[in-house]
């Protein structure tokens, strides 16, 4: 089974801190995604990457950046954390052409910014 591993299950950070959320997948998937999940809003796409060093903005990229130096790893960076970035963050990966059913999600990182 494909595994998508997010490095932390819970994180508490202070306002203004630089925060790194890490995601690693073990099945050589080309595509990787970062979503944010909030009650009543569902999942919203922050950034995605379809290849190493390639990235594209999703629907809510403001306040975030990403890094993909290796195929298996996709990092989400909060340059200066703010309280409105308190949320559940989900990473996913897929093969090119998977059309949705090949997406595998990690278990999520619940980030609290105080």
Contact set with other proteins (CB under 8 A): 4, 30-31, 33, 35, 40-45, 48, 50, 58, 90, 92, 94-101, 103, 105-108
The minimum distance between CB 99 and other proteins, in angstroms, equals 5
Closest approach of other proteins to the CB of residue 93, in Å: 11
Name 46's Cβ contacts closer than 8 Å, sequence gap at least 6: 34, 35, 36, 58, 59, 60, 61, 64, 66, 76, 89
List the structure tokens of 38: 């909030």
SS3 percent helix, strand, coil of the chain, rounded to 5, is: 5, 55, 45
| Residue with Cβ nearer other proteins (49 or 75) | 49
Nearer to other proteins, 24 or 81 (CB): 24
């Amino acid at each position: 089974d494909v595994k998508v591993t997010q490095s932390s299950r819970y994180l508490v950070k202070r306002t203004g801190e630089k925060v790194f959320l890490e995601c690693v997948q073990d099945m050589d998937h080309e595509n990787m995604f970062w979503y944010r999940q909030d009650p009543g809003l569902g999942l919203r796409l922050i950034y995605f990457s379809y290849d190493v060093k390639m990235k594209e903005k999703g629907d809510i990229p403001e306040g975030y950046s990403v890094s993909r130096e290796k195929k298996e790893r996709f990092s989400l960076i909060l340059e200066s954390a703010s309280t409105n970035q308190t949320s559940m963050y989900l990473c996913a990966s897929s093969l090119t052409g998977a059309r949705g059913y090949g997406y595998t999600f990690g278990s999520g990182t619940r980030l609290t910014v105080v």
